[in-house]
Amino acid sequence: MKNTFKLPIISIPILLILMMQSSAVSITAPAVTQTNYGYKGVPVNIEVIVTKGDGHVFMDTMPLTQLDMQGSARIASKVAFDIAGKNLKEYNVYYIVRSDVPIIGGPSAGATLCIATIAELNNWSLNKNVMITGMINPDGSIGPVGGILEKIEAAKECGCDYFLIPKGERYISCGNKTIDAVEFGKRLGIKVIEVESIYDALYYFTNHKLKKKTYSPNPIIEDKYTKSMRALAIEVLKKSKGKYTAVEEKLNRNYLGYEYQSSLENELKEAKKLIEKADNQYMDGKYYASTCSGFNALIKLETIDATIDYLNGEDVKKYLLNIQNDLENKKEVINNHKITKNNIEFVIAAKNRIFEGENLLDDAWKSYYANSPIEAIKYGAYAKCRGDSAIWWLNLSPDNGGETINPQNLKQLSQEYLDNAETIVLYSSMVMPSPLVDEGEEKLNNAKNAYNEKDYLLTISNSIDASVLATTSLEFMNDYNYLRNLAREKINLAESYGILPMSALGYYEYAESLNDTTSKIMYYKYATSYAQMDIDILKAINYISSINETETITTSSYYNNSNSNYDKETPQFEKVEPINTVNVKNVFINVSYLIVGLICGLFGGYYLRDK
C-alpha cells in the first residue's frame, strides 16, 4: 500500500497573511456604549492595512458595529488617499476593529480611521497618547459627534494626554447646564483641543505637518465663467423684464375682483423688486446671484400670468399638460446630449433642474386633484420655469468636442457618493434632527431612485444635495471662513486641470453675496462639493490618476514651535513605531523562497521514495 502525504497548504496563505499584517498601523478610537447606568466611553482598537489591490475597502468588526461605520470607512479611505496623493483604485484597504463591548455611532471614528490610513500610506509612526473623535467629511473637514464627555473619560482611562474634538463642540449642553469640554478635560488631566480638519489633527498624531499646495485661479477658466454667467444673467434679465411688462399690461386690462386683484398686484410689486435686485447684482458683477434673482422674478410673473388666465376661464389641467409635454421634450434633449469631460457638469446641472421640474409638476397635479387650482398653478409655474432653466444651463456648455463619456462608467463613483450621503444623513438624523436633515433624507431617496434607474449623473447630484443639507445642520461653529477658503482651494485645483467648474464657481459667488450665515455655509459647501465632483469624475474616467494636494513638513514636536499657542512644557509624545515595510518585504521574500524550497523538497522526496 502506498504511503500518502497531504501537504498542509492552508497554512501557507495564513503564514503569508500574518507576515503581511506586521506592517499594519494600530490606533485607538474613543466610542460610547450603553450600560444599565447610561452611556459610557470605551476604547476601540483599530488596525489599518493597505495592500496593492483594485480599490476595495474591507472592514472586519467584532462585535458588529452599526452600518454607518462602514460608510465612514469609505469616506476616510478616500480622503486619506487624496491627501497622500495616491490612487485608491490601485490599493485595497483593510480595517480591523475590535472592542470589548458593542459600540454606538460609527461615523465618530471617521477621523481616527483617516489618520491611521494616512500614516499607513506614508509609513509614519503614531503618538499613542493622543485620541480624536469626529466625523470625517469628504472635503477633509471634521464634523461634530456625540458623547464628547464620555469619550474624554475613556481617553483618560487609556492614559492619553491629548484629546481632539471637532471645532464648535467645546461647549456641551447637559440638561439645564452647559459644560466646557476643555475645562472638563483639564480636571481629568487631559488637554482638549478643537480641530477643524484632518490636516490640523494629523499633526498631533504624527508630528508631520501637511501643507496644502496652493493653486492660483486659472485666469482663462475664470474669464470663461465670467463671460458665460454674464451672458446668462443678461438673458434672464431680458426675459424677466419682458415678462413683467406683458403681465403688468395683462393685469391692468383685467379686473378680477378686489381680493385677487390686490393679491396679484402685490405679487407683481415683489417681482419688480426682484428684477431691480437682479439689475443691481448684475452691475456689481454678481452674475450668478443676478440670474437667481431674475429667475425668481420669472416664477412670480409666470404664476400671476397663469392665475389671470385661470380666473378668466382657462383650464388648469390643460396648462399642466402643456408643461408636462414641455418637460418631457426637454428631458429627451438633455438625455440625448453628448457628454464629454468639458460639458459633463452642465449636463448634470440640466438633469438636476429637469428632475426638480418633474417633482414640482407632481406636486401641481396633487394640488389639482385635491381641488386646489391656485396652488396647482403655483407649482406648475415653478415647474415650467425650472424646465426652462435646465435648457439655459445646457446651452451654456462648451461644444461637444472631445471623447464621449459613457455615464455607465460612473456607476462606481455614483455608488460611492450615494454611500457617503447615506452615512452622513443617517448620522445627522441621530445627532441633530432638523428640517435641513429631513430635506437631506428626501434628496437621499431621490438619489437611490436615480441609481435604481441607472441615472448615475443624477445620483451624484442628489447625493451631493443630501450630504450638503445634512452637514449644514451640523455646523455648530458658524465659522464660514474655513469653508470659504476650502471652496476656493478646491475650485483652483479643479481649474488647474483645465476644466470649468461652473456650478462650483456659481455657488461660491452666490455664497459671497449672502448675509445669512447658514445660507453662506450651505453654498460654500455646495461649491466645495461640486469642485470635488469635477475632480472625482476626472479620476473616474482616468483623465487623472491621483492628486497630490500636500507637501510634508516634519518637526520634532508640534509643541516645540515657538509660535505655538499651546503649553511649552507639554511632555514629549510616546511613539508607536510601525515595522519598516522594506524589512517586511525582505523577510517575506526570504521566507517565500524557504517555503517554495520546502515544498519542492517534500514533493521530490515523496516522488523518489515512491519510485
453: exposed, middle or buried (C-beta count within 10 Å: 0-12, 13-18, 19+)?
exposed
**Phi-psi category of 576—alpha, beta or left, where left has phi over 0 and alpha has psi -120 to 50?**
beta
Q: Any residues with CB less than 8 A from the CB of 257 and at least 6 apart, and which?
A: none
Provide φ and ψ at 454, rounded to 5°.
65, 25
- What one-character DSSP code corresponds to residue 498? T
Q: In whole angstroms, what is the distance from residue 311 CA to residue 327 CA?
A: 25
Cell readout for 241 is: 423684464
- Extended strands (E) in 268-427: none
Sign of CA dihedral 253, 257, 260, 262: positive
DSSP of 257-286: -HHHHHHHHHHHHHHHHHHHHHHHHHHTT-
Catalytic hit among 86, 99, 141, 151? 151
What torsion, rounded to 10 degrees, do the Cα atoms 124, 130, 131, 134 define? -70
Q: In whole angstroms, what is the distance from residue 323 CA to residue 96 CA?
A: 54
Three-state SS sequence of 98-144: ECCCCCECCHHHHHHHHHHHHHHHHCCCEECCEEECCEECCCCEEEC
Do 172 and 146 touch, CB atoms closer than 8 A? no
Q: Give catalytic status of residue 108 as yes or no.
A: yes
Do 373 and 310 touch, CB atoms closer than 8 A? yes
Cell readout for 587 is: 523577510
Do 491 and 505 touch, CB atoms closer than 8 A? yes
Instruction: Give the pairing type, strands 126-127 and 91-98.
Output: unpaired
Give whole-number Cα distances, 429 to 134, 422, 465, 469, in Å.
Answer: 16, 11, 15, 11
Give whole-number Cα distances, 309 to 255, 312, 369, in Å.
Answer: 12, 5, 19
Q: In whole angstroms, what is the distance from residue 400 CA to residue 52 CA?
A: 37
Do 204 and 162 touch, CB atoms closer than 8 A? yes
Q: Report the candidate in 144, 190, 138, 189 with the shortest Cα–Cα distance to residue 165.
A: 144
Q: In what order do the strands lie in the sheet with 57-62?
A: 25-35, 38-52, 91-98, 57-62
Element (H, E) at 524: helix 517-540
Do 129 and 14 touch, CB atoms closer than 8 A? no
CB-CB neighbours of 254 under 10 Å: 14
Give whole-number Cα distances, 174 to 41, 177, 238, in Å.
Answer: 16, 5, 55
CB-CB neighbours of 438 under 10 Å: 14
Catalytic hit among 72, 108, 197, 467? 108
605: exposed, middle or buried (C-beta count within 10 Å: 0-12, 13-18, 19+)?
exposed
Q: Give catalytic status of residue 241 as yes or no.
A: no
Catalogue the active-site residues.
Answer: 108, 151
